[in-house]
Structure 1
Amino acid sequence: MNFLIILVVTALLQIFAPWWVVAIVPFLVFLMRQTNAANAFWTGFAAVGLLWMAYGFYLHFISDGAMSDRIAGIFSLPNGILLLLVSALIGGLTGGLAGLSGQLVRRMFISAPPKSISL
């Protein structure tokens, strides 16, 4: 469920907001919803990475690869597909680290009940 929330809300907000909204959405989702650290990272990574890759491939195919190939040439990459994979990785890391940060802030302020020590 967290994956779909991040994917849909981020996709809608990317229409109107700057690119860094991909960090705010996973942070807020995992600040409000409880999960473990690994799940928070990988869910944020997968949702934002998939979103950026899907939109990148959409732009690549409607322009017949012209735009992404030219931008790839600026960065000395061999083709536009590699550029799309690198940008999806960067977006995924941004979303994953934001989700992890949200979960860690939640853990910092909402602590578990103390465990009793038995001897």
Structure 2
Amino acid sequence: MMKLIEQAVVTIVCCFLLQLFLPWWSLALAAGVVGFAFKNKGYLSFLAGFIGVGLLWGLTALYIDLSTHAVLTEKVNRLLPVNSFLLTICVGALAGGMASLTGALLRALRS
């Protein structure tokens, strides 16, 4: 359980730092490298990447929404009547989980 939390925290930090300078898909690079570095099983690595990137993207979306007084969120909801926060979290979390799983499986393949 502690390794899962450690991997999720390291994933959050690495993804945050990379996304300051690189496009959104850089989260896959960071989550994959972190998944490779930690010696977790596949499902734990997926879960750590899923939780880490999901939290990061959810908090980032909330920060942007609060700092812009929800102007963009209201306009997007008029065009596409879905929960944009949930959609954002799911896209990021799935990408992070799959990348972390790929890193863990590459490590298992190597050894």
Does the TM-score normalized on the shorter chain lie above 0.5?
Answer: yes
- Following the alignment from structure 1 to structure 2, what is the Cα–Cα distance between the partners of residues 73 and 28? 38
Q: Which amino acid aligns with 1:43?
A: A
Instruction: Give the partner amino acid of 1:22.
Output: L
Runs of 4 or more consecutive aligned structure 1 residues displaced over 2 Å after TM superposition: 71-74
> Per-residue deviation at 1:48?
0.4
Q: Which residue of 1 aligns with 2:18?
A: 13
1:47 corresponds, among 46, 49, 52, to 52
**Residue among 72, 75, 81 paired with 1:77:** 81
Letter in 1 for 2:94: L
Q: Distance in 1 between matches of 2:10 and 2:19?
A: 14
User: CA–CA distance in 2 between the matches of 1:61 and 1:95?
Assistant: 24
Q: Normalising to structure 2: TM-score of the pair?
A: 0.90
- Residue 25 of structure 1 deviates from its aligned partner by 0.7
- Equivalent residue for 1:23? 28
CA distance in 1, matches of 2:18, 2:51: 17
Which amino acid is 1:10 matched to? C
- Give the whole-Å Cα distance in 2 for the aligned partners of 1:107 and 1:69: 45
- Aligned partner of 1:117 in structure 2 is none
Gaps of 5+ in 2: 1-5
Q: CA deviation at 1:50?
A: 0.4
Alignment RMSD, CA only? 1.1
Q: For 2:69, which of 64, 69, 73 is the aligned residue?
A: 64
Deviation at 1:47, TM superposition (A): 0.4
Match of 1:108 in 2: 109
Distance 1:49 1:97 in 2: 12
**Which has a greater percent of helix?**
2
Find the structure with the greater CA-based Rg: 1
Q: Distance in 1 between matches of 2:88 and 2:36?
A: 26
Shift of 1:71: 2.3
Unaligned runs of 5+ in 1: 111-119
Structure 2 CA distance, aligned partners of 1:73 and 1:24?
34
The percentage of aligned residue pairs carrying the same residue is: 27
